A and B are shown apart, each in its own frame.
Chain A
């Protein structure tokens, strides 16, 4: 039985939000480690907004914002989006500059399953901050197969 069916049936049976197989969370943790190296990641300053219930995981609108003055001396240099429940945890990386004005980005991503998505911001001073959002992804009715 594949992970997706197990998660689906567990969610339906338990009525609780589904959880991710440990394997994929481990992949996501590794992906984050590759981004931050041996630096600490502080919680805060980063807000990730994803609808709590998604009709279809193929196209999910997400918005990430990072508190930052965005000046030449203090700005967000990158924001990395990591999806704990996707077959590939790295979804997208945004590279901003002191000319960005705001660290607010909206885009549309794919979510393979209900999961937690993490946004990791890399500041100009080298520090890392993170925020996350969890969402339930429903399966479309009456699909092709």
Chain B
């Protein structure tokens, strides 16, 4: 039983072989840092996304380890080289069984 939420990616649909493409991704998550307290003084437990993985035709091309210092609704802009047509997959995993993912097709000419 895992939690999930939306993740949205923006990247070009096509590119020339060898082009560097920019990928923007954001995910809906409060990233509860574990440092906040309720009005009655109880600590709100940590509940964050811990990892992000980008694969390109199943090969890892970019990975991120997130800590509580990452802002809510994590947003990352990064790049990758367009090598061949195929599928880029973006996966987030975190505390309390959190998992979300999305994919995007890239046509490389």
Contacts and interface: CB of A to CB of B under 8 A. Distances in A.
Q: Do chains A and B touch in the complex (CB under 8 A)?
A: yes
Interface residues of A, number: 29
A101 B20 contact: yes
Interface residues of B, number: 29
Contact of B81 (A60, A95, A101, A104): A101
B69 A105 contact: no
B67 A91 contact: yes
B74 A107 contact: yes
Contacts, number: 84
A100 interface: yes
B80 A107 contact: no
Interface of B: 20-21, 33, 35, 39, 56, 59-72, 74-81, 83
14 contacts: A59-B71, A90-B67, A91-B67, A91-B69, A92-B66, A95-B63, A99-B83, A100-B62, A100-B80, A101-B20, A104-B78, A106-B76, A107-B74, A108-B70
